[in-house]
Amino acid sequence: MTVRYVESSRLPTAWGDFVMHGFEDAEANKEHVVLTMGDVGNGEPVLARIHSECLTGDALFSMRCDCGNQLQAAMEAISKEGRGAIFYLRQEGRGIGLLNKIRAYKLQDAGADTVEANEQLGFGADMRDYSILKPMIEHLGTHRLRIMTNNPRKVQALKELGVDVVERIPLHTHSNPHNEKYLQTKGAKLGHLFE
């Protein structure tokens, strides 16, 4: 595995002070971060979110997805608990990259759903690689997680890495007319759980 720890610093946010830990993946030429609050290496289960980068949702406030809202909800939940971790992975567009995501959006504008668009571009429905989490988890000593996700694939990937997933916590945000089809597709074709 080519992911290595680089440095940590304080990151004040609207939800309180986090510590931002930087990791470099030399093989993929990508940088990832983990935001932590409190002592996440004391052996107690850690409230956590694995979040794949979504520039459009996280920073540009797109209503086409639920990503930005999920990130903010996770930060708020960790802040309320006073302890937790957000693994922010640079895997834009379920791993296809930003420019291909724009191409996929164009196909969605013409009627394709999010999975069909990726496949029409020659990609799988979900190209993300969660094995990059292993060196991050080992560095932080967070081997027992209470994971905030609707995606059972993330839970399975963590278990395959030897992480004890103590609890899966649903992370629901409000739908809107721009993301209703997207959310339906995540449930029907990608197996996301919307209780």
Alpha-carbon dihedral sign for residues 157, 195, 56, 102: positive
DSSP string, 118-153: HHHTT--S----GGGHHHHHHHHT--EEEEE-S-HH
- The span from the first CA to the last CA of the chain, in angstroms, equals 35
Biggest alpha carbon distance in the chain? Answer: 50
Q: Which residue has the tokens 């919307």?
A: 194
Q: How far apart are CA 12 and CA 16, in angstroms?
A: 6
Known catalytic residues? 126, 128
